[in-house]
Structures are given as structure tokens and as C-alpha cells.
């Protein structure tokens, strides 16, 4: 299992819960090199978009584009690795869980307040479902003010 998360926040708590339950999990942060990804996996838990809620302004636009670029590059690399892992193998049903903090408004038609960076994983998940019809795609949306341990649970 690959957990895309920052070590602090709900990602770190989720990693500890999975390990206590006997699960094998590799944590990758947004700035970690893709080479740290395990060679074989069939589950991705993406929390990189969780907590993103600030849209850029003229002062922060450069840093925002850098963060966006790193996020897109990392997610595409993970998706490519997932496709390679499940295509040649036995009948494995891959799973991708996308976690956002768009305020519980995901799918409601309301725009909500979210950094567009938070939507990258959602967009990729949509594309992956077309590429991998066998992919089990789950989305969990929380309020940005949710307690991290509750999000992990």
C-alpha cells in the first residue's frame, strides 16, 4: 500500500493505524522522489490534497505553481506505477482512495473553498477510472477543520 501523505497531520496518524493493524504501508510525501515508491502495490491512499485550501494570490503564485507541478508529477508517477503493477499480474482489483478537505461539499454542486491543488487527485482519479475499469475508486471529503485523528479513523 502506498500512502501519499505528510508525516504530520492525518497521514501520519493513518500510517500508524495501518501498521498497528498489520498492514504494510509506504509513506510518500509530495516532495519525496518517485523512486521511494515500492515496486509492487495495488492500493493508493492519497491525502496530499487534504488541508489544501488557499487559492494563490499575486504574492504566492510562483510557490503555488511549484507546488502544483510537484503534485502533478508525483501523482502521475504513482498512477503509472499502479497501472504497471496491476496490468501484468493476476486478477487484482486495485484501489485508489482520494481524501480531500473541501468542506464536505464534494459532489454537491457547490464550489466550496478549496485550493485548486486539492482537486488534482480528483481529476487524476477520474482519468484512472477510464484507463483501469477494474479500479475501485473511493473519495472521502472532510471539513478542513476536521480533527486529524478522526480523519485517519
Q: What is the pLDDT of residues 89-145, one digit of tens each?
A: 566 678 999 888 776 655 555 554 555 666 788 888 888 888 888 889 988 887 766
Cα separation, 55 vs 14, whole angstroms: 26
Report the DSSP beta bridge partners of residue 62. none
pLDDT of amino acid 150: 75
Of all residues in the chain, what percent carry a pLDDT higher than 90? 10
Give whichever of 18-27, 52-61, 76-85 has the largest mean pLDDT. Answer: 18-27
pLDDT of amino acid 110: 52
Q: What is the pLDDT of residues 119-134, one digit of tens each?
A: 788 888 888 888 888 8
Task: Report helix, strand or coil for 38.
Answer: coil
- Distant-in-sequence contacts of 141-147, Cβ < 8 A, 24+ apart: 141/99, 141/100, 141/101, 141/102, 141/103, 141/104, 141/105, 141/106, 141/107, 142/50, 142/99, 142/100, 142/101, 142/104, 143/101, 143/103, 143/104, 144/51, 144/53, 144/101, 144/102, 144/103, 144/113, 146/101
Read off φ and ψ for residue 138, nearest 5 degrees. Answer: -125, 145
Cα separation, 93 vs 76, whole angstroms: 19
pLDDT of amino acid 50: 77
> Which pTM does this prediction carry?
0.80
Whether 21 has a pLDDT exceeding 90, the answer reads yes
pLDDT of amino acid 2: 92
Amino acid at each position: 500500500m502506498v500512502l501519499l501523505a505528510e508525516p504530520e497531520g492525518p497521514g501520519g496518524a493513518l500510517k500508524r493505524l495501518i501498521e498497528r493493524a498489520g498492514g504494510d504501508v509506504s509513506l510518500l510525501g509530495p516532495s519525496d522522489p518517485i523512486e521511494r515508491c515500492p515496486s509492487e502495490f495495488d492500493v493508493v491512499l492519497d491525502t496530499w490534497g487534504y488541508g489544501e485550501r488557499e487559492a494563490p494570490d499575486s504574492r504566492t503564485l510562483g510557490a503555488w505553481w511549484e507546488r502544483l507541478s510537484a503534485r502533478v508529477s508525483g501523482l502521475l508517477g504513482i498512477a503509472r506505477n499502479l497501472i504497471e503493477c496491476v496490468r501484468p499480474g493476476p486478477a487484482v482489483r486495485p484501489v485508489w482512495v482520494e481524501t480531500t478537505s473541501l468542506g464536505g461539499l464534494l459532489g454537491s454542486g457547490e464550489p466550496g473553498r478549496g485550493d485548486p491543488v486539492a482537486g488534482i487527485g480528483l481529476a487524476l482519479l477520474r482519468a484512472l477510472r477510464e484507463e483501469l475499469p477494474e479500479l475501485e475508486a473511493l473519495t472521502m471529503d472532510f471539513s478542513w477543520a476536521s480533527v486529524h485523528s478522526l480523519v485517519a479513523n
